[in-house]
Structure 1
Amino acid sequence: MSSRRTTTIAGSLVAATFSAVMILSLPAVADDQGPGSDKGGKAVDEAPAGVRLSTLLPERISVDNDSQETAITATVKNEGTRESGAVRLLVVGFDGLTVKNVQGCSRIAEEDLPEGSNSGFSCPVGALAAGASTSYDVDATFDLGRTGKICLPVQTSDGSKTFWQQGPVPFGTTNPSPNAPATPLLLGTDNTPVGPGGGELPRTGLGRDVLPLGAAGAALLTAGAAGLWWSRRGQRG
């Protein structure tokens, strides 16, 4: 074998090895998440005239099978014709999906979380101009042996009204990949746990019976607004 051919093959092997390392070590990023979707969302309290608020979640995310870490982009937008006034976005995790951090947002105290949730952050969006949107990088973990849901309410800055709420909507897969570096999850899909006999899902948190996909928002929107989670707790205090 010529030295030139040996050098070419060696160089190819180095490149292939480097690519493999990069694929195995890179975390999930927003570029892999596909287009945003408002699946599982609904308007709640009436917004001011000319204001139309909603949220978007990625259609797919990727969970590292070793660390259970994943990245999610949460977007709030105003598709109306007038500025929204000061609003906030809440990012709340349920069951196997735990929100670890949201860039630029404050953690919600455990005693102020809605029933059944395990984590949450409050993001001061401020006033959104007509046609404007703001996105937040969400760091989370997902226990692939359980179901997992996320919820995005958009409220007035004091939480007295909820103009829009997406979820709690599940991420999941019906085709687990225990031997792969990462498992892709789809929005609006109940998760099938990794491992043998994964047909029956563990019932954790509020459970599937209480929060079915089609009526998930209803359980959190009793009396018409998710903001009442916090006001009711304040009255008890």
Structure 2
Amino acid sequence: MSSRRSTTIAGSLVLASFSAVLILSVPAGADDQGPGSGKGGKAVDKAPAGVRLTTLLPERISVDNGSQETAITATVKNEGTKDSEDIRLLVVGFDGLTVKNVEGCTAIAEKDLPEGSNSGFACPVDRLAAGASKSYAVDATFDLDKTGKICLPVQTRDGKKTFWQQGPVPFGTTNPSPNAPATPLLLGTDNAPVTPAAPAAPGELPKTGVGRDVLPLGAAGASLLAAGAAGLWWSQRRRPQS
């Protein structure tokens, strides 16, 4: 993906603090997400000494075949020995996965989304104590006729540094269930669309895992600017031309 010049958001992001783990508000998949996984994650800019920020996504989600609704828990953790500075978590959807809401977070304007993404929210985390974590309820839809990916960057509050980025990592299944009430999707698996597709070449195995669908950090373009501060930057980002 090529980079494009960022534009200024009308109005500043709401920088509210959160003191409790948020509860999922969409029932689909809420009770059967399995353990959290950092699959597709990578450290980017160097964090302060003693701070180690990571994220987790569920290993599986369940998509309602009628409404296409699903629920995802996005978690940010400080696995270090010292408290972090003020940070924020971004939740960004790609392709068939569209982020509809993240409780307590602010939607990123369409014009400010990274190129190739379809939706995104910015979640102010503030300081995260050593050993602590904070989870967010993500309401989303997943078009089972497409592949779908999600990305979780963890940044400084002003967005100038990205300490960690998970994804874009796919959810999917190689065994669609069009006649079932819901379709289970696994993290790190390319989705096999429900609609008929050309048969695979003889001996060709289904493509699973993060593999080709994990973008090089920095490949998703556009930046998010808020109140004079740099916003959504991906690792290995290109510097804007003066």
Q: Considering the TM-score relative to the shorter chain, is it more than 0.5?
A: yes
Cα separation, partners in 2 of 1:199 and 1:159, compared to 1, 3 Å: farther
Matches within 5 A, 1:172-191: 172-191=172-191
Partner of 2:93: 93
**Structure 1 position 111, deviation (Å):** 1.1
Provide the residue aligned with 1:40 in structure 2: 40
Q: Residue 149 of structure 1 contacts residue 168 of structure 1 at CA under 8 Å; is this kept in 2? A: yes
1:38-77 matches, cutoff 5 A: 38-77=38-77
Whose relative contact order is higher, 1 or 2, with alpha carbons under 8 Å and at least 6 apart? Answer: 2
State the one-letter code of the partner of 1:228. Answer: W
Q: Please tell me whether residue 112 in structure 1 is matched to residue 112 in structure 2.
A: yes
SS across alignment from 1:89 = strand
Match of 1:80 in 2: 80
Contact 1:149/1:171 (8 A) holds in 2: yes
What secondary structure, in the 3-state scheme, does the structure 2 residue paired with 1:186 have? strand
The structure in which a higher percent of residues are helix is 1
Alpha carbons of structure 1 residues 27 and 155: separation in structure 2 relative to 1, 3 Å: same
Q: Give every structure 1 segment of 4 or more consecutive aligned residues whose post-TM-superposition deviation is greater than 6 Å.
A: none
Contact 1:72/1:140 (<8 A) preserved: yes
SS state at 2:138 partner? strand
CA distance in 2, matches of 1:105, 1:112: 16
- The structure whose Rg is larger is 1
Indicate the percent of aligned positions where both proteins have the same amino acid.
Answer: 77
Deviations 1:128-180 (A, max 9, x none): 00000000000000000000000000000000000000000000000000000
Q: Distance in 2 between matches of 1:88 and 1:154?
A: 6
Structure 1 letter corresponding to 2:59? E
Is residue 128 of structure 1 aligned with residue 128 of structure 2?
Answer: yes
Secondary structure at the aligned position of 1:138 is classed as strand
Counterparts in 2 of 1:149 and 1:55: CA distance versus 1, 3 Å = same
The code of the aligned residue for 2:171 comes to F
Indicate the residue corresponding to 1:144 in structure 2: 144
Larger displacement relative to structure 2 (179-188 or 212-221): 212-221
**How far has the Cα of 1:226 moved from its partner?**
8.4
Q: State the Cα distance separating 1:28 from its structure 2 match.
A: 1.3
Q: What's the offset of the Cα at 1:182?
A: 0.2
- Structure 1 distance, partners of 2:177, 2:198, is 13
Gaps of 5+ in 2: 1-25, 201-210, 223-229
Return the letter of the residue paired with 2:152: L
Q: Equivalent residue of 2:31, what SS?
A: helix
Residue 212 of structure 1 aligns with which residue? 212
Say if 2:149 and 2:168, in contact at 8 Å, map to a contact too: yes
Candidates 214, 225, 228, aligned match of 2:233: 228
Could you tell me which amino acid in structure 1 is paired with residue 148 of structure 2? G
CA distance in 1 between counterparts of 2:55 and 2:233 reads 20
RMSD of aligned alpha carbons: 2.7
SS in 1 for 2:57: strand
Q: Do the aligned partners of 1:166 and 1:217 also contact (CA within 8 Å) in 2?
A: no
2: distance between equivalents of 1:176 and 1:117? 24
Q: Could you tell me whether the CA contact under 8 Å between 1:84 and 1:129 is conserved in 2?
A: yes
1:64–1:216 CA distance, 2 compared to 1 (3 A): farther
**Partner SS for 2:111:** helix
> C-alpha separation between the residues in 2 aligned to 1:103 and 1:216?
28
Tell me, which stretches of 5 or more residues in structure 1 are unaligned? 1-25, 201-210
Aligned length: 198
